[in-house]
Structure 1
Amino acid sequence: MSNTTEQAPVAPRRPHSFSLHGIAIQDDYAWLKDPNWQEVLRDPQLLDADIRSYLEAENTYAERLLGHTAALQKTLVAEMRGRIKEDDSSVPSPDGPYAYFRKYREGGQHEMYGRMPRNGGPESIVLDGDALAKDHEYFKFGGSRHSHDHRLIAWSADTKGSEYFAIRVREWETATDHDDLVEETDGGVVWALDCKSFFYVKLDDNHRPLQVWRHKLGTAQADDVLVYEEPDAGWFTHLHESTSGRFCVIAGGDHETSEQRLIDLANPDAPPRLVAAREEGVQYDVADHGDQLYILTNVDGAIDFKIVTAPLAAPERANWRDLIPHRAGVYVLDHDLYSGHLVRLERANALPAIVIRDLRTSEEHAIAFDEAAYSLDAMGSYEFDTTTLRFSYSSMTTPSEVYDYDMVTRERTLRKRQEIPSGHNPADYVTTRIMARADDGAEVPVSLLHRRNFVRDGKAPLLLYGYGSYGMAMPASFSANRLSLVDRGFVYAIAHIRGGTDKGWGWYLDGKRAKKTNSFDDFAACARALISENYTSAKRIVGHGGSAGGMLMGAVANRAGELFAGIVAEVPFVDVLNTMLDHSLPLTPPEWPEWGNPTESAEDFRTILSYSPYDNIAAKPYPAILAMAGLTDPRVTYWEPAKWVARLRATMTSGGPVVLRTNMGAGHGGASGRFNRLDEVAIIYAFALWAVGLADKSA
């Protein structure tokens, strides 16, 4: 590793302490949190001058330290862009007389939204993302939905990176916007059937989605009608249209409990109707078919979920009846309904399957594939009365494929295969899986990708990716970007650790709250298994994770840093204790079921304090670390990685370097635009190559 003599910025220590549950906490970098952070989310120019100066000094240091990889970064961007079909488009999705699609133009950063006659004919574009983005440093589409009469489209965009989306309404025929402007929403829209109004969720001053409103076309937002307000600040509220198109579903909940209400879209003035009252620990998700509801739920100890039915007229818990019983170890992720079929997505031992049930005969069959590790998703449809199911498939070697599947004849039609313009031969690569044994005996799946000519001699560099929170599984799907590492000799590995649902809901429960450290120990066990299986060796591994996966990176750096040459932590949730103590932050109350409430519970306080990466930095060597932040990020606020980096530098005895790069014009998702994002990926990959001593050989 070279260029490590560059002088890093030194964040001033400004003493700050507090005491809770009899424990004193010293936080000398608390000043990096702007006291007016809510205003900064809306207008980044309001950031405190001292904080801005420090973040800009860190960015300058990062640019100087990684400056010698500039040519490599440029090469990586060119490679990754060469694998993108620049004028790509989605498979048109039929709805009535039209088929709707999204596409890119050659060289375009942002999507265009359009449609064509269902049976063929000229395309019309109604939204041009590149044109809409030209006056903004940041631009990201939110939700979009055409009206039931196909005359209008409600669309939303975020122009700050703060995830406040403004909704507008546009005419399809003229591609012009109405005067309607609905601001500070989550971006989603559900139309009433008469197309004269729509429902949306408004974010409060703390960026929480707690209110459902109805907007009547042609009126001001100040005249909108409040339809529902969630009383619990720890619950988030979202909307979606039911598969049948009859209802707007108000879905509320936290990480352990849920509750849903239905709005009859034919009668949008009617109050929402409760399906079943919330019960702590009970989750459910509703789909409708005729006079029946089909409900995915974990009730009655169904840890991996089951499907029950209930009469639409009397949907309360007492009337729920099992349709698809619970089977331990077979996790039912999702369900969807069509006029003649029930479709469910299942996962067992980190491998997914789509199961189709004929509602008339109750006969079932499954769609599955033969590779050692793959990803499979049902894609949904605008239409309810259809026998066609659209799904996508990919593996770590096989680019994404989109199929239309006839649920009656069982015929499968390939509608699109992801094109790699610069060329890709799946036969040149191998995807496989190993099982790592954790300290407590748990078997942790690890999905692997490497070149077919790879020699397993323990010398290869390896990137190990992980997440392990919120029940999010990490799919073994295709990523063209990864090939830039794999083609340079890297093994790319995904650790399916506890805290995700890769092996069922119990896998998630074994990696949360008091059991959170299982996630970290699993990740380290995966690294050790890859070493023992001769895929790599200690100090040849680069760990990578983002958001809660960034917390994983921080914890692993503290607990098993000796295994790693480098750590990449994108928008890392590393200041867990302080964040969970601050109930004003957007995600804190809803996150208490995931991490615990350290304000109310001394036990939760001690548990979080025992692993929070920021609070467990020790005077010892650390691997090279790259932390990436977004100034307007409402999910993991910029000051978390800034504080973490400052304390790391002040405490560690050797190793590093530790680098902080803050995107001053973006939020949680990083740069907007499909090509701009490649610049950030190139920085990550150049850092990974540098950490294992290959940067100068790879340009």
Structure 2
Amino acid sequence: MSQQLPPIAAKKPVTRTFHGREFVDNYEWLRQKDAPETREYLEAENAYTQEQTKHLEALTEEIYGEIKSRVKQTDMSVPVRSGDWWYYGRTEEGKSYGQSCRLPASASADPWTPTVIEEDTRPADEEILLDLNEMAEGHEFFSLGASSVTVSGRYLAYSVDTEGDERFTLYVKDLETGQLLDDVITDVFYGATWAGEEYLFYQRVDAAWRPDTVWRHRIGTPSEQDVLVYREDDEAFNVGIGATRSEKFLIIESGSKITTEVRYTSVDTPEAEFEVLWPREAGVEYAVDHAVVAGEDRWLVTHNATGPNFAVAECAVGTQLPALRELNELVAHDDDKRIEGVDTFAEHIVMDYRSGAIGRVAIMRLSSDGFTQFEPVEFDEELYTCGVAANPEWEAPKLRLTYTSLTQPTQLLELEVATGEREVLKSQEVLGGYDPAKYTAYRLWATAPDGEQIPLSVVHRVDLDVSSPRPTLLYGYGSYEASMDPTFSVSRLSLLDRGMIFVIAHIRGGGEMGRRWYDNGKGLRKKNTFTDFIAAADELIKRGMTEPKLLVAEGGSAGGMLMGAIANMAPEKFAGIQAIVPFVDPLTSMLMPELPLTVTEWDEWGDPFHDPEVYDYMASYAAYENVSAQDYPDILAVTSLNDTRVLYVEPAKWIAQLRATATGGQFLLKTEMAAGHGGVSGRYEKWRQTAFEYAWVIDKAKAGVNSTN
């Protein structure tokens, strides 16, 4: 490997002073995104990373080829019924993006069974609504935000982002003529909600990139005449708007990390004032959906007013609502069952819940007398992921579910609600003769320092002898109550087939084991996230499945914060650490209310701006501020210049600090200069990026194998 010297960032010390504490930051100057010196430094880091990973080019191309060879590139989704149309997507080999298409529902003999369409044929009455390949031409980055069709099927509202900063331009297309209307709205957030054909609701963000306002646009009028429907003044709250599946109510939900408030109005009166259902109460979260039970309009309410794992309750739609704690309870709070929400249909209700670190689904069939009982949908595998798929039609007698596991490619299931019969509508096709029997997945448990049992999901080839140490990739996230469920990955096969073990550590801060799991890994308990992950590594090493020189860690975004923390706390346990868009300078960010997301994030991390205790706690684990003169594992940080969620400056400063301070380890920074938080756009570009990241992981593990031999 070349001995080219790495870029050395200039030290320009500035002193941050808060609560009588001082921190000298040598690299804060890198925050000046448009400064020539910043761009030159990032380009120099990219050049250095490219040169230092030149030996990975052949392996990267090999893995990229493997991913491409396994994916059915000319493919289409199963059509979904909405109104008088079947909607579906197409992809074609050689094209990075897909097409949105539809067929008249009259083309089907059965109103709930779509006409079978072959991937390489196009029915004469097929309409292409959007061709994203044509739309992406001339842009280094392209992302579709909203894509919403009126119930009548006439108008399509869609939005696009060509920078990666998640600020979209909204367009309206007349699907009868194929022409774009003059209605163009710039600088909007995700989503677009129709009320009939005349009104369109959307959101905007404030200077801190917080969705704070809901607007109403009347088709055919200038956007300057759009009406501000609701403004959320509390900087800790985000706001969103949608419609119930019944298409009877519009819902505005305003929520922080710990509190929600819902407003509603009838779809038939979109100009009316939105009414509050239950006023916000600190620490109380609730969500509503509309059901019709025994001919009466009812609110279905998922709330945590009676316990942290949530309950499901209901009441009549009306002006005099009982208090949340006085609603008729359908599913009581359960310490072992985290209820995540309900979906209502004309004849049934679906509940998503989590038990035993597995996401599950239960169904209630409504009777003429009213509510019945929820019955779980059962599966045989120990580790799996099941969820509700696209089911836009209110009166559909069938329910579509997705099912996948670490060894089972994704399946789209259709369940006849009345009988319980299931049909596999589509299985993800893995080309090249994939055989799930060649792989095994199972659950292990690690013991945290405080005695908590941490679930681990493990997958590897059946023929891999794990009685002796093997190269292993340990993945973790552990924030926002997000659950890292066991799902299938085509690209991951390139690791498994090279003799690697892949492990997900379901650490605290995530939601796998209920709200308690989340609460004990946030705020002033955040360090549990890091020590849980280290305990997971220790368990794999203790079992003899791997050893430090064969073990690579990976995490992204808030999981990148995890990577930075464990790099400081337990560098000796890992051969490499891969941090994707990593949140590694959290204290600096949380002290800047003007930054995107900061104030809304105080409920997650704590508020160091006002609270000295939180400041000291975050200062004790913030990756950037705790880099020390010790040997580190090799580290690869990948970021994007236009990321608005985790700014590029965080990994840039972190790598500079590591390079200046550490006594051992190679530190690489790769910055995508035309991308956002999700990285590059286009499926081929994403596959190539994944191939590079996996090549780096394999290289680190391979080095450990070679040293063993």
What TM-score does the superposition give when structure 2 sets the normalisation length? Answer: 0.94
Matches within 5 A, 1:239-278: 239-278=241-280
Which of residues 300, 308, 314 is equivalent to 1:294?
300
Which of residues 685, 688, 698 is equivalent to 1:689?
698
CA-CA distance at 1:207 after TM superposition:
1.7
What code does the residue aligned with 1:334 have?
A: G
2:674 alignment counterpart: 665
199-208 or 589-598: bigger deviation: 199-208
1:498 alignment counterpart: 508
1:180 alignment counterpart: 183
CA-CA distance at 1:177 after TM superposition:
1.3
CA-CA distance at 1:695 after TM superposition:
11
- The question of 1:222 aligning with 2:224 is answered yes
- The question of 1:678 aligning with 2:683 is answered no
Which of residues 348, 351, 354 is equivalent to 1:341?
348
Alpha-carbon displacement from aligned partner over 1:166-191 (angstroms, at most 9, x marks no partner): 11011223432112111111120110
Quick one: distance in 2 between partners of 1:186 and 1:242? 20
- The question of 1:52 aligning with 2:39 is answered yes
Matches within 5 A, 1:63-142: 63-118=50-105, 119=108, 120=115, 122-142=125-145
Alpha-carbon displacement from aligned partner over 1:402-425 (angstroms, at most 9, x marks no partner): 011111111101110001123311
Quick one: distance in 1 between partners of 2:78 and 2:614? 48
Which of residues 147, 152, 158 is equivalent to 1:149?
152
SS of 1:328's equivalent in the other structure is coil
1:208 alignment counterpart: 210
1:7 alignment counterpart: 5
Alpha-carbon displacement from aligned partner over 1:114-160 (angstroms, at most 9, x marks no partner): 11122146321110000000121100111211111111111111110
1:310 alignment counterpart: 315
What code does the residue aligned with 1:682 have?
A: A
Q: Which runs of 5+ in 1 are unaligned?
A: 38-46
2:112 alignment counterpart: none
Quick one: distance in 1 between partners of 2:615 and 2:409? 45
Quick one: distance in 2 between partners of 1:385 and 1:315? 27
Is the Cα contact below 8 Å between 2:590 and 2:598 reproduced in 1? yes
CA-CA distance at 1:204 after TM superposition:
2.2
Is the Cα contact below 8 Å between 1:614 and 1:644 reproduced in 2? yes
269-278 or 308-317: bigger deviation: 308-317
Quick one: distance in 2 between partners of 1:364 and 1:594? 32
1:41 alignment counterpart: none
CA-CA distance at 1:552 after TM superposition:
0.3
CA-CA distance at 1:205 after TM superposition:
2.7
1:325 alignment counterpart: 332
What code does the residue aligned with 1:129 have?
A: L
Quick one: distance in 2 between partners of 1:33 and 1:334? 40
Quick one: distance in 2 between partners of 1:571 and 1:510? 24
SS of 2:510's equivalent in the other structure is coil
SS of 2:571's equivalent in the other structure is helix
SS of 1:621's equivalent in the other structure is coil
1:648 alignment counterpart: 658
Is the Cα contact below 8 Å between 1:138 and 1:672 reproduced in 2? yes
254-263 or 554-563: bigger deviation: 254-263
Is the Cα contact below 8 Å between 2:2 and 2:51 reproduced in 1? no
What TM-score does the superposition give when structure 1 sets the normalisation length? Answer: 0.96
Quick one: distance in 1 between partners of 2:322 and 2:389? 29
1:44 alignment counterpart: none
- The question of 1:407 aligning with 2:405 is answered no
- The question of 1:603 aligning with 2:613 is answered yes
152-161 or 168-177: bigger deviation: 168-177
Alpha-carbon displacement from aligned partner over 1:610-629 (angstroms, at most 9, x marks no partner): 11111111110000000001
What code does the residue aligned with 1:618 have?
A: S
* Residues 695 and 458 of structure 1, relative CA distance in 2, 3 Å threshold: closer
Quick one: distance in 1 between partners of 2:493 and 2:287? 38
2:576 alignment counterpart: 566
Quick one: distance in 1 between partners of 2:4 and 2:240? 47
Quick one: distance in 2 between partners of 1:315 and 1:695? 64
544-553 or 365-374: bigger deviation: 365-374
* Residues 178 and 694 of structure 1, relative CA distance in 2, 3 Å threshold: farther
Is the Cα contact below 8 Å between 1:167 and 1:187 reproduced in 2? no
RMSD: 1.4
- Structure 1 segments, 4+ long, off by >6 Å, are none
Quick one: distance in 2 between partners of 1:476 and 1:279? 35
Which of residues 18, 23, 32 is equivalent to 2:30?
32
What code does the residue aligned with 1:289 have?
A: A
What code does the residue aligned with 1:328 have?
A: D
1:446 alignment counterpart: 456
Is the Cα contact below 8 Å between 1:4 and 1:657 reproduced in 2? no
* Residues 4 and 567 of structure 1, relative CA distance in 2, 3 Å threshold: farther
SS of 2:549's equivalent in the other structure is coil
Alpha-carbon displacement from aligned partner over 1:649-668 (angstroms, at most 9, x marks no partner): 111011x2100000000010
* Residues 64 and 259 of structure 1, relative CA distance in 2, 3 Å threshold: same
What code does the residue aligned with 1:355 have?
A: A
Is the Cα contact below 8 Å between 2:471 and 2:705 reproduced in 1? no
2:118 alignment counterpart: none
Quick one: distance in 2 between partners of 1:555 and 1:215? 46
Query: Number of residue pairs matched?
Result: 681
What code does the residue aligned with 2:164 have?
A: G
Quick one: distance in 1 between partners of 2:365 and 2:401? 18
Quick one: distance in 1 between partners of 2:165 and 2:249? 30
Quick one: distance in 1 between partners of 2:261 and 2:57? 51
Alpha-carbon displacement from aligned partner over 1:250-289 (angstroms, at most 9, x marks no partner): 1111111111111321111001111111111100011011
- The question of 1:365 aligning with 2:371 is answered no
Quick one: distance in 1 between partners of 2:559 and 2:629? 23
SS of 1:91's equivalent in the other structure is coil
CA-CA distance at 1:303 after TM superposition:
1.1
Quick one: distance in 1 between partners of 2:670 and 2:68? 22
SS of 1:299's equivalent in the other structure is coil
* Residues 487 and 546 of structure 1, relative CA distance in 2, 3 Å threshold: same
* Residues 456 and 681 of structure 1, relative CA distance in 2, 3 Å threshold: same
Which of residues 20, 23, 46 is equivalent to 1:22?
20
Quick one: distance in 1 between partners of 2:441 and 2:165? 37
Quick one: distance in 2 between partners of 1:283 and 1:88? 40
SS of 1:555's equivalent in the other structure is helix
SS of 2:608's equivalent in the other structure is coil
CA-CA distance at 1:310 after TM superposition:
2.3
Quick one: distance in 1 between partners of 2:353 and 2:625? 38
Quick one: distance in 1 between partners of 2:503 and 2:148? 37
Quick one: distance in 2 between partners of 1:25 and 1:349? 43
SS of 2:683's equivalent in the other structure is coil
CA-CA distance at 1:316 after TM superposition:
5.5
SS of 2:702's equivalent in the other structure is coil
What code does the residue aligned with 2:673 have?
A: M
452-461 or 167-176: bigger deviation: 167-176
Is the Cα contact below 8 Å between 1:72 and 1:695 reproduced in 2? no
What code does the residue aligned with 2:313 have?
A: V
Is the Cα contact below 8 Å between 1:277 and 1:316 reproduced in 2? no
Quick one: distance in 2 between partners of 1:179 and 1:187? 20
Is the Cα contact below 8 Å between 1:462 and 1:493 reproduced in 2? yes
Quick one: distance in 1 between partners of 2:321 and 2:540? 50
CA-CA distance at 1:694 after TM superposition:
5.6
Matches within 5 A, 1:159-178: 159-178=162-181
